[in-house]
Structure 1
Amino acid sequence: MSIDFAALHLLRPQWLWALLALPLLAWWWRRRRRRDGVWQSLVDPHLLPHLLETKADTRSRMAAGIAMLAGVLAIVALAGPSWRQSEQPLWQSHTPLVIVLDLSGAALAPDLPPSRLAQARAKIATLLRERQGGQVGLVAYAGDAFTVAPLTDDAANVALFLDALAPEVMPVDGQRVDRAIEWSSQLLRQAGFSSGQILLMTDQADDAARAAAAEASRGGYRVSVIGLGRAEGASYRRMDGSIAMARLDESSLRSLASSGNGSYSALTPDDADLRALGVLEPGLGDADAKGGAKGHAWRDEGYWLLPPLLLLALLSFRRQGAAALLLLCAIVPWQPARAVEWWQRADQKAHARMEQGARSYRQGDFAGAAQAYQAADSADAHYNRGNALAKSGEYPQAISAYDEALKREPGMADAIANKRAVEAAMKRKPPQGGSGQDQQQSRGKQKSQPSQGQGAQPKPQQQSSQQDPSQAQQSRQEQAQERAKPADSQSQQAADAAQRERMRRALEQGKAQPGQQREQARPANETPQQRERRLANEAWLRRVPDDPGSLLREKFRLEHERRQSQDTPGE
């Protein structure tokens, strides 16, 4: 290691004032030694060398010199000698951004082909993909404003909701831009940001919206606008079925941006509008440095003085003690220091378990995620545990987890919506598993007449399979349970033949449906039993509704009803 003496300096030079104390300590120590030496006042000086041991005095002076040298090394180390720099990222506080999207019926206007909504989705996807750091949130509004995704550093998590955004998910139609701006400001305020940016995507603004933008600007939040649509406009159908005309009013939007201390730009095919508004490279709160900049800091090299200081400290021990200390240092395994769980607070432990659960959830390990969330006793932990259990198909346990979350945070809209979705899924899908004895008992309770044999059931079951091939699995389960009961060989053979006929017709009807290509996924060595099970599972999968916006629709509806009951819309 080479030392640049020209660059040598001290990071904390004030510690050098402590060097002045060393001579005072040496004078005090020498005076004390003389005061304690009573023989010098009682014995003639020419007899002292013959009576006193001179080696002890020599060792004492050596100890004093070693102590002085150790003190100098310690003080210089504390002063922070430095002669080189290291590159390190600057501390940054990126300006957060809340994207506000107009989801009124006007979003379906086709003046921006194929529609304003499609163009807005693409623009938001570009923004989330190219934005360089900073937290991002997403708010949708029509007659009221709702949070689609709260402020987060993970832009990909916000992008998951884009395909579900449509006017149908909003509980009430309209264009209350003022409520959207007020709600976005509140979102930034609740996240602890004293400054931020609101990006509004709409086609017009009124006086109430301009007043809300001015209020947000006074609170430290800039309001910028991207205009959706064209001046000539286009007709669209409202949620109530009536026809209306949507036109881009650039003058009102420019006035809105001016009131919000922001900028205005019309929607462009490329990212020129985003760059003009400065949302791709977020600023740094109160700092003047540019995003992503790195600085150079002087390295504290005082630790290089610690090894000689420790060697001098060894001389203060007895001879046997120094040898034992050296032996201990030799046999102790050197490992990097790390924080153990003993030193963590309760909130730090809970945070670590939440992060572990989130990692397991993203990796598809829903059982591990549920176990990690179980260790953290909070409303969010139980809510996330319910989601993990629902993903793994454990619906009753998921509902219990949602109930635990609601006990700790009554009125949690997400927990209520997910609980209802899981309950609806349980009604659509009969419970699988369980002992055969329980299933036979439950099936026996449903049959009021024991005289009805298996031969009387194929006809109505066959008709049901013709109506819906997805009911083949239910019929197959019923037949399997009936075959578990004592029956004669003729009725058993008739039931088996009826079951095979039902599955054959379900297969033929499934082939006739467009877009179904189940045979392409058929394994190479598939037995008839495996094929039958696969077809039944596919029939059930076809019954699962493919509606990504159902969660948002239910969430917004519950939030709107809560606001109506409190008579405080937009808060």
Structure 2
Amino acid sequence: MNLPAGIDLAALHLLRPQWLWALLALPLLMAFSRVRRRRTSVWRESVDAHLLPHLLVERGDARVRRAWGVGIAAYVLAVIALAGPSWRQSEQPLWHDRTPLVIALDLSSATSAGDLPPSRLAQARAKIDALLRARADGQVALVVFADDAYTVAPLTEDAANVALFLDALEPDVMPVDGQRPDRAIEWSAKLLRQSGFDRGVILLLTDRADDRARDAAAAARSQGARVDVMGLGTDAGASYRRGDGTFGQARLDAASLRSLASAGGGRYAAIATDDGDLRALDVLDPDTTLGSGDAKQSDATRGRAWQDDGFWLLPPLMLLALFAFRRRAALAVLLLCIGWPPAQAADWWRRADQVEHAQMDDGNRAYRKGDFADAAQRYERVDSADSHYNRGNALAKAGEYPQAIAAYDEALKRAPGMEDAIANKRAVEAAMKRQQQSSPKGGGGQSQSPKDQKPSQGGQGAQSPSSQQQKQQSSQSPQQQPGQAPKAGDAQSQREADRAQRERMQRALEQQRGDKAPKPGEEPVQETPQQRERRLANEAWLRRVPDDPGGLLREKLRIEHERRQLQDKE
């Protein structure tokens, strides 16, 4: 950290000058010290002079004055540092207030009217999608309403997550048909408050409004929310089919929607084919969605703030604080001056279990990197059952089978009955036997890795370490089946053995399914009538699975509707 080149005295000021009131405590502290010294004089009046040297500790006046001087200096420096002296400005990332937006979409059966081809709902979904893609930033939520209002997507900064639900919006997902924009406004305002916002914008998409909706818009405005309205439909209107099979006539009531927007302190615009309606409503930029009354911060002052330079007083304050220690103050000053390495100093404060945990972590990292020799050395520095078990795994992966068995024995001495160590020890012993059988004279043979065999299955013994979920408590080391490391001489044979194992497993799966694929040079396997009938039935059943993207949303709204009904009854 570089010291400032200079201090501009004209710009020097305190960011928190209220802390200077703490200086008034100095006279009180001095008065308290004098009272204490007077109490010591009482002993001089009550005790014989030849006994006072054995009862009182004499302090020279010079020593007392030095102590008071150091204390007063440290106190003044601390108060000035807390007051926040500042003489320069610096660039600071400032938080921008992004106004949240709640989109409330009318999802009644009237939105199926075709006066906005192909339908009002299709036009509304396209408009919401364009809004989500064009909106610069800020949190967005999606609410749908018919007879009641429901949350489809809560407030989030991920507009793409909100757009995922657009294709599932249909009138039939609503539990009860109707048209209550007042409940949509009330629910949207509640959603803003629950998310911790004291202001926001509610964009209502519908074709008409009543007195209840205007009252709800006025209430939302008093709570800090602005209500904008986008009209769906045309003056001529069109007929539509209700959920019960009857027909109705839907028309755009622009006058009632303008009145609603005026009550909510917002604007009204009819839906358009371009983005002119969104620009008229001013909902694309979250910085300006509350109108001209909330002016932006000017570019001249944006990102600049006075810097608190009181930390420059901390080093001298710390040096003065060292004199408050009666013991080893000189040693502390010496260590501070020579700059003792922090890493070594940190080791002094570690407990034994923390040191062992660090060694185990280092061994785990080396194991995951494939450096099994280094991992084994690091595990060896810790004397515990887990460390010896991990060391056995690392040695086995490195191909040192006798040493691995010895490590498993050490683990079993400290934790008798350790199933993982017993299983892996048996696997390594089996690998050694196979290695001896393949090269009885100790050279030229190739051994099969123990990771290709399964020493235990299910409840008959310990599972393979590769299939267990980090069973070790303190080490959290990789639990894998030990095996020979892929050295340069037998890497090709290991790959061939793995490939052969995968082929055997694939053939077994194909035989179990009854549709074994023919191999080159083999005759294709003919299906039995029963197998063919079963396959055709499965394919027909898959074709009958309905493609209903709104099913989950429909079930969610139904459950919410039933929950509200139960609350109303209570």
Residue 213 (structure 2) aligns with: 209
**Superposed displacement of residue 170, structure 1:** 2.1
CA deviation string 1:469-524 (max 9, x = no partner): xxxxxxx99994899xxxxxxxxxxx963349956997xx99xxxxxxxxxxxxxx
Residue 304 (structure 1) aligns with: 312
Task: Report SS of the residue matched to 2:527.
Answer: helix
Q: Taking structure 1 as reference, are residues 11 and 193 closer, same or farther at Cα in structure 2, changes over 3 Å only?
A: closer
Q: Taking structure 1 as reference, are residues 241 and 82 closer, same or farther at Cα in structure 2, changes over 3 Å only?
A: same
- TM-score, reference length from structure 1: 0.54
Residue 559 (structure 1) aligns with: 560
Is 1:152 the equivalent of 2:140?
no
**Superposed displacement of residue 554, structure 1:** 1.4
Query: What does 1:21-420 correspond to in 2, within 5 Å?
Result: 62-88=66-92, 94-282=98-286, 288=294, 290=296, 294=302, 296-317=304-325, 320-324=328-332, 326-327=334-335, 330-333=340-343
On the 8 A contact 2:231/2:257 being kept in 1, the answer is yes
> What letter is aligned with 1:161?
F
Residue 405 (structure 1) aligns with: none
> What letter is aligned with 1:150?
P
On the 8 A contact 1:93/1:285 being kept in 2, the answer is no
CA deviation string 1:430-460 (max 9, x = no partner): xxxx99xxxxxxxxxxxxxxxxxxxxxxxxx
On the 8 A contact 1:284/1:290 being kept in 2, the answer is no
> What letter is aligned with 2:130?
T
Q: Which moved more, 1:324-333 or 1:245-254?
A: 324-333
On the 8 A contact 1:81/1:302 being kept in 2, the answer is yes
Residue 477 (structure 2) aligns with: none
Q: Larger helix proportion, structure 1 or 2?
A: 1
On the 8 A contact 2:74/2:320 being kept in 1, the answer is yes
* Inter-partner Cα distance in structure 1 for 2:248 and 2:178: 12
Task: Report SS of the residue matched to 1:497.
Answer: coil
Q: Taking structure 1 as reference, are residues 255 and 74 closer, same or farther at Cα in structure 2, changes over 3 Å only?
A: closer
CA deviation string 1:403-440 (max 9, x = no partner): xxxxxxxxxxxxxxxxxxxxxxxxxxxxxxx99xxxxx
> What letter is aligned with 1:123?
K
Q: Taking structure 1 as reference, are residues 28 and 252 closer, same or farther at Cα in structure 2, changes over 3 Å only?
A: closer
Task: Report SS of the residue matched to 2:283.
Answer: coil
* Inter-partner Cα distance in structure 2 for 1:334 and 1:158: 52
CA deviation string 1:118-150 (max 9, x = no partner): 221122123233435444322212233322123
Task: Report SS of the residue matched to 1:303.
Answer: helix
* Inter-partner Cα distance in structure 1 for 2:125 and 2:98: 24
> What letter is aligned with 1:246?
A
* Inter-partner Cα distance in structure 2 for 1:34 and 1:207: 82
Q: Taking structure 1 as reference, are residues 13 and 192 closer, same or farther at Cα in structure 2, changes over 3 Å only?
A: closer
**Superposed displacement of residue 307, structure 1:** 0.7
Which segments of 5 or more consecutive residues in structure 1 lack a partner in the other structure? 39-54, 337-433, 436-475, 484-494, 511-535
Query: What does 1:474-513 correspond to in 2, within 5 Å?
Result: 480=512, 497-499=526-528
**Superposed displacement of residue 81, structure 1:** 1.0
Q: Taking structure 1 as reference, are residues 547 and 301 closer, same or farther at Cα in structure 2, changes over 3 Å only?
A: same
**Superposed displacement of residue 152, structure 1:** 3.3
- TM-score, reference length from structure 2: 0.54
* Inter-partner Cα distance in structure 1 for 2:534 and 2:514: 21
CA deviation string 1:44-87 (max 9, x = no partner): xxxxxxxxxxx977666555544443333223222221011234
* Inter-partner Cα distance in structure 2 for 1:143 and 1:277: 26
On the 8 A contact 1:203/1:248 being kept in 2, the answer is yes
On the 8 A contact 2:201/2:289 being kept in 1, the answer is no
**Superposed displacement of residue 102, structure 1:** 1.5
* Inter-partner Cα distance in structure 2 for 1:335 and 1:100: 61
Q: Taking structure 1 as reference, are residues 543 and 291 closer, same or farther at Cα in structure 2, changes over 3 Å only?
A: farther
* Inter-partner Cα distance in structure 2 for 1:182 and 1:22: 58
* Inter-partner Cα distance in structure 1 for 2:290 and 2:261: 20
**Superposed displacement of residue 299, structure 1:** 1.7
CA deviation string 1:2-57 (max 9, x = no partner): 2323211122334445556657867987998899899xxxxxxxxxxxxxxxx977
Q: Taking structure 1 as reference, are residues 238 and 288 closer, same or farther at Cα in structure 2, changes over 3 Å only?
A: closer
> What letter is aligned with 1:303?
F
**Superposed displacement of residue 539, structure 1:** 8.3
On the 8 A contact 1:92/1:284 being kept in 2, the answer is no
> What letter is aligned with 1:146?
Y
Task: Report SS of the residue matched to 2:209.
Answer: coil
Q: Taking structure 1 as reference, are residues 149 and 30 closer, same or farther at Cα in structure 2, changes over 3 Å only?
A: closer
**Superposed displacement of residue 281, structure 1:** 3.3
* Inter-partner Cα distance in structure 1 for 2:509 and 2:25: 91
CA deviation string 1:163-188 (max 9, x = no partner): 11112322333323333334334434
Task: Report SS of the residue matched to 2:203.
Answer: strand
On the 8 A contact 1:201/1:227 being kept in 2, the answer is yes
On the 8 A contact 1:7/1:84 being kept in 2, the answer is yes
* Inter-partner Cα distance in structure 2 for 1:323 and 1:190: 57
Task: Report SS of the residue matched to 1:297.
Answer: strand
* Inter-partner Cα distance in structure 1 for 2:217 and 2:205: 14
> Among the aligned pairs, what percent are the same residue?
64
On the 8 A contact 1:199/1:223 being kept in 2, the answer is yes
Q: Taking structure 1 as reference, are residues 36 and 136 closer, same or farther at Cα in structure 2, changes over 3 Å only?
A: same
* Inter-partner Cα distance in structure 2 for 1:292 and 1:281: 17
Residue 409 (structure 2) aligns with: none
- How many residues matched? 381
**Superposed displacement of residue 226, structure 1:** 0.3
Q: Taking structure 1 as reference, are residues 148 and 307 closer, same or farther at Cα in structure 2, changes over 3 Å only?
A: same
The alignment's C-alpha RMSD in Å is 4.9
CA deviation string 1:365-423 (max 9, x = no partner): xxxxxxxxxxxxxxxxxxxxxxxxxxxxxxxxxxxxxxxxxxxxxxxxxxxxxxxxxxx
